[in-house]
A and B are shown apart, each in its own frame.
Chain A
Amino acid sequence: MNPFRRFETIVAFRFMREGLTQTLLIVFGVALGCGVIIFMSALLAGLQDNVVRRTLSFQAPIVILAPDQVARPLRDGSRESVTAQIQPRSQQLRSVDQWQKVQATVAGIPGVIGVTPVVTGPGFAGRGEARKSVSITGIDSSSYFDVIALPEKIVAGRHEPGPLDIIIGTELAKDLGTAVGDKMTLTSATGVASVLTVTGIFDFGNKGVNERNVYVTLRTAQNLLDLVGGATSIEVRVLDPFAAETIAQSIRADADLEVDSWIRTNAQFFSAMAAQILANTLIRFFVGLTVALGIASVLVVSVVQKSKEIGILRAMGTARAQVLRVFLVEGAFMGLVGALAGALLAWGFLLLWRGVATNADGTPMFIVVIQPSLFVIACAGATLVGILAAVIPARRAAQLDPAVAIRG
């Protein structure tokens, strides 16, 4: 049945048209409120997405490591510790036990979309007199790029290192005065050295990473770090970065391994993000409440203004439920139309923001994600708020005594 031919819709729309200024004002109010909510949510989502993307561009969401070596306390026959103080053991560079098996097992976990072995250790990069301490990262080109988007970050040369190649960051290249094609020496902390050719320069947009990280093949790193056949860590990429900790826990539960998720290693960032989400939720709540009170107050006034008409309608056989629905339709309509107008407003502002908030090079400061679902949720939410706000005035209208209402 056509809803626009229903009694409630016809009466509600006519009532709203009769008080057009009042209706337009509240629709404008709802539009502003809804626009603010959508704009803020999109901005925050964009900001979060941007930070997450930047963080995960050089860091795997999950890193599996060999368990820490622990000092064994000396015990006597009674199994009581005889040492007064146990000094923690210094950690050596060790391979994950049976890393190939671990890699295969983890690859089968739902939600995991990339697994790669990595050999990491300290070293020095030198050219001529210049020497810089670096973190040597040995990668398996066939799987590493499924986890870390290194190819996207290459600003010069190529992304796949050969056995005698090295890929360095822009900052290190600047410090050492090297360019693609230059030779440099890479020395491990144990003193093993190798002369390598710079075949690529990357820029992760992070000074520390650009200064510290160097990429060589897995085999080269194994030789330099004296870890032949080993892998110091397994790096894992997951479909939903926010599910990383859950997946890490499941890996941790199944094997005696040290498993770190980026959520644990970036705890401060997540606590800041949680505070931001809470602040945004509070703002949304209070804006929603203001919108609801606005709709409710307009409808309360409308019920008073229309009490005679309601009395007449009741006298001619209109049921209480029908009167109730008239005002619920009004509330829903004001919420929905206000939300649609607010969505348009927010969309316009977001496009404007994209154009205004730019970096020095003209690229967007951060990508604002305009998700259709956000608009749908906001519109549905505003309609619901409209209906809920209308409940009290609608009940009041339905309870009006027709004889009293007609007398005025």
Chain B
Amino acid sequence: MSLGEILSHPLLLPALLAAIAASIAGGIMGSYIVAKRIVFLSGSISHAVLGGMGFFLWLKRHFHLEWASPLFGALIAALLSALALGWIRFRYKEREDTLIAALWSTGMSIGVIFIALTPGYNVELTNFLFGNILWATPRDVAILIGFDILLITLTRLYHKQFLAICFDEEQALMQGLNVKKLYMFLLCMIAVSIVLLIQVVGAILVVALLAIPPAIAAIFSSRLSKIMILAVFIGIGISFAGISASYRLNWPPGATIALIAAIVYLGSLPYQRHSTT
């Protein structure tokens, strides 16, 4: 499929724009996630959002509350999970991995229970779980671009502080930074990114778009700022390839994007030893 065909296609153009916007958010926040080695923690947030989605979907259907959209529920659940995980990190560091897993499964359990209680066929939920970028609306794209602008601004302002807490929390503390607040802030930014990326690849596969492009970029660069830029372009390339392939093969787009990301990552691994420039 040519670029011209995609740009003139009513379904594919918003999907491509959403993919570009999502890749920007994923590339930037994913780079912090990979550098700080909190991929598992991010996986926990992305799965715990199911609790918020399920609960809000149940509210919407059961009580006919139109404002209770699953996306809103996901956002609240993601932020609460991020704050809880940040608190766990500083309070129960020695049991952090167990508590991350507990939050992961608790969020999903709540989601599954409310989904079971919700009447009707839950197509919305299927889209949130597995993503459906082909259904991205101009409104979704506008929200993603707005968030990208906010994210780039905040990253520009706080990058040195984030870099410090990712590399050496003790030094950050020595320099008078409020490490706990900064870490919570970073986790909240990651949580919001996850919710937005869920619309592209779904809750189950969001970690792929967050972790794999920066992991590939880290093979070719040794500076976080360069990794971020590279990861954005890698994410765009992978998303573009995934959307094209899914359109041709009639495969689910989210899963196709995640699969292509994994293949590109595996293909990049042999270049790892040349990674010191």
- A, B from the same assembly: no
User: Residues on A close to B: CB < 8 A?
Assistant: none
User: Residues on B close to A: CB < 8 A?
Assistant: none
